[in-house]
Amino acid sequence: MDWNGLLDGMTGIVRDTFGEPFTYTRLETGETITHSVATGEELRGIYDPAWSPEQDGTALRVSASIPVLDVKLSDLGFEPATKDQLTVNGVNYQVNDKIPSSSGMMKLHLRKR
C-alpha cells in the first residue's frame, strides 16, 4: 500500500472513531447531503465547538475560539465553499473559511446562523 492509501485509511478510522454526524447543504446547487458519496454511510466529521488557533510569535498573545468541522473530502465528493451551510449536533452553521490538508481532509471554520 502506498503512503496516500495508508493515510486515507487512517483518516477514515479517525473520522469513524471521533466523528459526529452532520448534514451539508451546498449554496451553489441547494442540494443537501446526508451520506458519504464514497461509502454510502452517514456523513461524519470531527467537530470541535471551540477550536483555538495558535497565535505564538506575536508580542501580544491573542485568544479566540471558533467552531470547526474536519471533513474528509472524498465523503463529500466536492470541495466545500464558503457560505455553504451545515448542521452538526442540532446547530446550524455557515462555512466561513476552509483550510485544506494534504491528508485529504479539510478544516471548515464555521459561523452560527
What is the pTM for the complete model shown?
Answer: 0.84
| Residues 106/46, Cβ–Cβ less than 8 Å | no
Pairing of strands 20-25, 32-33: antiparallel
Cell of 107: 478544516
pLDDT grade for 97, boundaries at 50, 70 and 90:
very high
Give tens-digit pLDDT for 34-79: 999 988 999 999 999 987 766 555 566 666 789 999 999 999 999 9
Going by pLDDT thresholds of 50, 70 and 90, the confidence category of residue 87 is very high
Bridge partner list, 94: 85, 111
pLDDT the model gives residue 101: 86
- Residue range 8-30, pLDDT digits in tens: 777 778 888 889 999 999 999 99
Angle, alpha carbons 53-56-60 (nearest 5°): 105
